[in-house]
Structure 1
Amino acid sequence: MTIALLALGLNGNVKAANLSTPAGDKQCPALLDHQFQRLQDEKPVSLCSFKGQVLLVVNTASYCGFTGQYEELEQLQRQYSAKGFNVLGFPSNEFGKQEPKSNKEIAEFCNNTFGVKFPMFAKSSVKGDQANPLYKQLTKATGEQPGWNFHKYLIDRNGKVVGTFKSGVSPQSPEITQAIRRALDAHPITK
């Protein structure tokens, strides 16, 4: 069963996306078969709505030395979104308590300071036993959990992790941009 979801970005623009029923959808890769609340209004969104896309999943924080990466992540979003790419942001307060703000405050900060429009989700844990279900699966799939804010996982269109990048790797680095292009080119969108 497929329904349409209107997903609001942080700026309030409406963007249509297909949303499959979250629980037990055979078409949804297991890695994406989770639901999270949007950062700005805490409305639930199924990650199944991103199936068939290349995703860069990033744990974020407002008071980190890497916070400037928001701007580069937004550039990636703008550059590759038409080809079926999305950045997914997951704020976390686990590393140095660098994300103490409320979800609403984080959304306002990201939008007002960096113009973030890519999908962001409510603050959650990203490591250890308390990690949200997506991050538990990412850690299991890669053997690597975030060591700090702005750790990145690249997921291909089939829902498989095809790359991990530590916090210090710039989103605009050749290492990341080439990996994104390879994942996009492996299964290009046909019109």
Structure 2
Amino acid sequence: MEALGGYPTKSPSPRARVLTVLLCMAVGAGCLFLLQTRLLRPRKPEDFYSFEVKDARGRSVSLERYRGKASLVVNVASESAQTEPNYRSMQELHRELATSHFNVLAFPCGQFGETEPRTSRDIEAHAKSTYGTTFPFFSKIKIMGSEADPAFKFLTDSVQKIPKWNFWKFLVNPEGKVVRFWRTDESMDDVRQEATALVREIILKKRVEL
């Protein structure tokens, strides 16, 4: 066989053809594997409402149900010296600001001494019967160390602080971003003021959109 310029060309050997085919197949398989890996890889949650958690009965719950609202997320405990004043003030705020725009979300934690010895269901029942709480309780979690709950870790990573005790409070906006946090000993009046202002923003925005 001759090329256009009149010079003879050498046909590839059968061995070379086989190697070329095998190389193409290997490259194709590699590309397909990378594509599948990227498509199947779970997407990293981008905000607090992107996570799934367990409720007090151990059932999976998507936090998407709270998107569009303001949320006060709190690590709670039943036997802390701060339990009664916090539960009562949190319930009052939960009732005042209405669940259509705001929720207190309680995450029990047993990592601070013996302040939370109960099971998740008992924690919720005790808070309801003793303090009249109506806000959601979730399953007891860890918020420190390698076993920290991913949703709560998102909060602590956002503020670059890990709670030193019970009843740290994280204010999450309608888009799932942390906008403020308060330590245990900080005034609930400040929490109320900030949460109320955020709820007002939500209401005004909805009125403009109508």
TM-score normalised over the length of structure 2: 0.72
Structure with greater helix share of residues: 2
- Is 1:51 the counterpart of 2:75? The answer is no
Q: Which has the larger radius of gyration?
A: 2
CA distance in 1, matches of 2:196, 2:119: 34
Q: Which one of the candidate residues 193, 197, 203 is aligned to 1:178?
A: 193
CA distance in 2, matches of 1:63, 1:135: 21
Q: Residue deviations 1:57-108, cap 9 Å, x none?
A: 0000000011011111111110002550000000000111210111121111
Counterpart contact for 2:77–2:115, Cα < 8 Å: yes
- Mapping for residues 79-90 of structure 1, pairs under 5 Å: 79-82=96-99, 84-90=101-107
Amino acid at match of 2:202: H
Structure 1: tracts of 5 or more residues without a match: 1-22
Change (3 A) 1:80 1:29: farther
Specify the SS of the correspondent of 1:148.
coil
Specify the SS of the correspondent of 2:146.
helix
Amino acid at match of 2:107: F
CA distance in 1, matches of 2:186, 2:91: 15
| Displacement over 3 Å in runs of 4+ | none
- Mapping for residues 62-77 of structure 1, pairs under 5 Å: 62-68=78-84, 69-77=86-94
Change (3 A) 1:49 1:29: farther
Counterpart contact for 2:52–2:151, Cα < 8 Å: no
- Is 1:138 the counterpart of 2:155? The answer is yes
Counterpart contact for 1:24–1:33, Cα < 8 Å: no
Q: Residue deviations 1:109-154, cap 9 Å, x none?
A: 1111011110110000012322100121111110111110000000
Specify the SS of the correspondent of 1:88.
strand
Specify the SS of the correspondent of 2:181.
strand
- Is 1:166 the counterpart of 2:183? The answer is yes
Aligned residues, how many?
A: 164
